[in-house]
């Protein structure tokens, strides 16, 4: 699958994300220390952050098709070229919208889209096509905004990659030459989709609270390829301006098509923007080139820039983005060069692509803004965000590529990250002890090494073993698992997959209220929208009054937009126990739940104060930035100063 293949369309606009924020703080899960003010808006642990009454809604707003890219390498951007250009891109009709939820308060950088439908319709409502976006979590978080982050509160961007399934083609689709070609090209009645969200507003400014910008690309899907990432080559940023705190152009996908003599690079996820709306106001000369010599540079405290001589590279061409400040929103940030010389294409077969700029500080050289992965090697897990019950087993799919070609017989090493320490009560953590992750180590069983087959694919069996409340008041445990090939690129580092393993629990056929009261009270605390507008989840009599609504919601499949809980963090055993109570509500009686099991919780082997690993430290900072609590949003006035 590659959303970069032709034919592809670009859409841009806004997205609405009405997420709940009370659950952003792990300490808020402790029923014994929860306070009513935790449901009030406000920064910090003693308030509910910026949207405590969020309902986890995700939807498209003000989105439309901007551009088409055709197999012959030409683009179309006028409605007179094709009926689909300018048409609205919208969400579901006749049913609730999709949802956007985190995996866990200890895994907030994997926000997932569930049950999202996408439709493209004409101005008078005629359907062109619609389909369901398969569940996908975002990854590749990277800095986007150069300025204005204090306006919206969120300087990062990310990427959702998925497939569109259950496609319905409307009668009006026959009027679109583009859609006819796309339908004939794609396989399995699915389409590839990539979406880059950025510029999200936590703050009540500009009339855009809970809105962000989104850039989308839809192209053909090809059978046998991954579902949640593009099997493309990758550029990694290796330049950091002296006045910048972060590395921009951090991660960019690109596609090399030898038959078409074409290179297409997606800067839609990495292009630095001058404001939350995607405006680009700088005019730096940026060029694509192929290095003739291996490049392994990476940002460190010692080196913030690397240079290359013109004779050590083959130049492809300049990015022509400077003529329109709205270039990113019109083109999606995808740059394509077709009909390239044979020398360029031959060099690209086994050499690194570069993003470069002429250097002022080192005359006669180019500074390398971003370079391709070392040895052109990319290895990624497909289903990398997992919800797992005790006793459940599944398989994780891995794919390896070298220079964009599936790589057989490649060994991938897999290891559990070290445990993170508990955080004791203190002035900076005033509510409750917050428990660490990645323990007990025997909670998960998996292989330490796997090897790709002839198609560059490998599977890792993963089994969840019984654990007993290692986080005491939060169900289950979060496990982060690193994976890497023998060649680890220091510009990107090992990737990881993350697992929420649920606590061991025996479903109860005849529960009483005390058996489920702690679960229901916790949901009432964390999601006040339910208690305020549907039923007080902590009140058994209120639940009995609305039992038919509750039975409907708790019995929905996890892929149903009405599924409850919306966070999808409840084990089947606990959910079935709740359903059994709703079918036969007993308010009094002796509880039968295994309340003593919390005494069996494993001891955290990491002592308080244990320093996090580099990967764990990056996660901590990313969560602060994601939640708008990171103070260092300094504007970058000139990203390309002193190149």
Q: pLDDT confidence of 392, banded at 50, 70, 90? A: very high
- What tokens appear for 35 in the block? 């306070």
404 and 345, same domain (yes or no): no
155 and 59, same domain (yes or no): yes
324 and 358, same domain (yes or no): yes
* 60 Cβ contact partners less than 8 Å away, ≥ 6 residues apart: 13, 14, 15, 16, 89, 90, 91, 118, 214
Residue 598 in any domain: the answer is: no
450 and 579, same domain (yes or no): no
137 and 251, same domain (yes or no): yes
460 contacts 425 by C-beta, under 8 angstroms: no
383 and 242, same domain (yes or no): no
Q: What is the pLDDT of residues 211-221, one digit of tens each?
A: 999 999 999 99
What is the spatial distance between Cα 202 and Cα 58, in angstroms, rounded to a whole number?
A: 15
Among residues 374, 399, 433, which one ends one of the domains?
Answer: 374
Residue 642 in any domain: the answer is: no
Can you tell me which residue has the tokens 């690129």?
489
Residue 639 in any domain: the answer is: no
Number of structural domains found in the chain: 3
- What tokens appear for 332 in the block? 């999606």
400 and 484, same domain (yes or no): yes
Q: What is the pLDDT of residues 467-521, one digit of tens each?
A: 999 999 999 999 999 999 998 899 888 899 999 999 999 999 999 999 999 999 9
Among residues 593, 613, 635, which one ends one of the domains?
Answer: 593
Task: Tell whether the model's pLDDT for residue 632 goes beyond 70.
Answer: no
Determine if residue 326 is left, alpha or beta; phi over 0 gives left, psi from -120 to 50 gives alpha, anything else beta: alpha
Q: With CA atoms as reference, report the closest residue to 412 among 403, 399, 425, 421.
A: 399
Residue 635 in any domain: the answer is: no
Among residues 350, 374, 398, which one ends one of the domains?
Answer: 374
143 contacts 175 by C-beta, under 8 angstroms: no
Check residue 44 and give its pLDDT.
64
E strand map for 349-392: 353-358, 366-372, 377-381, 385-388
Task: Tell whether the model's pLDDT for residue 600 goes beyond 60.
Answer: no
497 and 587, same domain (yes or no): no
Residue 335 sits at the vertex; the CA angle it makes with 333 and 341, to the nearest 5 degrees, is: 170
Residue 264 in any domain: the answer is: yes
Q: Which domain holds residue 168?
A: 8-374
* 243 Cβ contact partners less than 8 Å away, ≥ 6 residues apart: 636, 637, 638, 641
Residue 638 in any domain: the answer is: no
29 and 128, same domain (yes or no): yes
Residue 3 in any domain: the answer is: no
611 and 551, same domain (yes or no): no
Pairing assessment for the beta strands 393-402 and 405-406 based on DSSP bridges: antiparallel
384 and 369, same domain (yes or no): no
Domain holding 422: CATH number?
2.60.40.10
Residue 264 belongs to what H/E stretch? strand 262-266
Residue 457 in any domain: the answer is: yes
- The residues facing 89 across adjacent strands are 63, 120
Among 88-97, 149-158, 411-420, 522-531, which range has the highest average pLDDT? 411-420
361 and 227, same domain (yes or no): yes
């Amino acid at each position: 699958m590659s959303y970069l293949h032709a034919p592809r369309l670009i859409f841009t606009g806004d997205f609405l994300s009405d997420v709940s924020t009370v659950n952003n703080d792990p300490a808020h899960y402790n029923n014994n220390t929860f306070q009513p003010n935790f449901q009030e808006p406000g920064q910090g642990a003693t308030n509910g952050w910026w949207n405590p009454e969020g309902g986890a809604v995700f939807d498209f707003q003000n989105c439309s098709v901007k551009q088409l890219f055709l197999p012959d390498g030409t683009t179309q951007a006028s409605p007179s070229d094709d009926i689909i250009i300018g048409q609205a891109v919208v969400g579901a009709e006749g049913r609730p919208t999709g949802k956007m939820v985190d995996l866990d308060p200890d895994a907030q950088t994997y926000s997932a889209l569930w049950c999202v439908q996408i439709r493209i319709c004409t101005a008078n409502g005629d359907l062109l096509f619609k389909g369901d976006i398969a569940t996908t979590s975002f990854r590749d978080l990277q800095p986007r905004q150069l300025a204005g982050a204090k306006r919206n509160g969120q300087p990062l961007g990310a990427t959702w990659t998925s497939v569109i399934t259950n496609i319905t083609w409307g009668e009006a689709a026959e009027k679109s030459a583009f859609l006819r070609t796309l339908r004939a090209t794609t396989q399995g009645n699915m389409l590839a989709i990539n979406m880059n969200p950025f510029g999200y507003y936590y703050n009540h400014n500009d009339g855009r609270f809970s809105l962000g910008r989104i850039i989308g690309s839809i192209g053909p899907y090809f059978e046998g390829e991954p579902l949640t990432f593009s099997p493309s080559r990758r550029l990694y940023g290796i330049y950091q301006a002296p006045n910048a705190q972060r590395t921009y152009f951090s991660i960019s996908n690109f596609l090399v098509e030898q038959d078409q003599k074409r290179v297409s690079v997606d800067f839609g996820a990495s292009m630095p923007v001058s404001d939350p709306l995607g405006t680009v106001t700088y005019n730096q000369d940026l060029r694509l080139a192929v290095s003739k010599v291996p490049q392994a540079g990476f940002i460190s405290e010692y080196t913030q820039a690397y240079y290359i001589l013109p004779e050590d590279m083959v130049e492809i061409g300049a990015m022509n983005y400077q003529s329109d400040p709205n270039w990113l929103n019109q083109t999606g940030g995808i740059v394509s060069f077709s009909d390239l010389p044979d020398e360029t294409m031959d060099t690209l077969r086994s050499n690194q692509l570069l993003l470069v700029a002429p250097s002022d500080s080192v005359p006669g050289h180019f500074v390398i803004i971003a370079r391709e992965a070392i040895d052109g090697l990319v290895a990624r897990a497909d289903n990398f965000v997992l919800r797992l019950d005790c006793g459940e087993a599944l398989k994780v799919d891995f794919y390896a590529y070298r220079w964009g070609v599936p790589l057989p017989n490649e060994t991938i090493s897999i290891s559990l990250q070290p445990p993170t320490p508990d955080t004791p009560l203190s002035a900076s953590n005033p509510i409750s002890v917050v428990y660490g992750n990645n323990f007990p180590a025997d909670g998960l069983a998996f292989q330490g090494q796997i090897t790709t087959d002839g198609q560059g694919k490998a599977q890792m069996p993963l089994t969840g073993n019984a654990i007993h409340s290692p986080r005491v008041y939060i169900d289950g445990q979060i496990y982060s698992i690193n994976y890497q090939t023998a060649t680890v690129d220091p510009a990107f580092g090992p990737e990881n997959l993350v697992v929420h393993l649920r606590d061991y629990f025996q479903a109860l056929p005849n529960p009483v209220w005390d058996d489920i009261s702690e679960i229901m009270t916790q949901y009432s605390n964390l999601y006040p929208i339910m208690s305020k507008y549907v039923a007080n989840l902590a009140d058994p009599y209120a639940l009995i009054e609305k039992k038919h609504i509750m039975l409907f919601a708790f019995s929905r499949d996890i892929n149903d937009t009405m599924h409850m809980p919306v966070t999808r963090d409840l084990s089947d055993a606990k959910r079935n126990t709740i359903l059994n109570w709703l079918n036969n509500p007993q308010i009094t009686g002796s509880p039968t739940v295994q309340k003593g099991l919390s005494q069996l919780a494993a001891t955290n082997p990491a002592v308080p104060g244990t320093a996090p690993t580099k990967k764990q430290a990056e996660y901590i900072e990313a969560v602060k930035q994601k939640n708008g609590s990171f103070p260092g949003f300094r504007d970058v006035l000139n990203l390309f100063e002193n190149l």
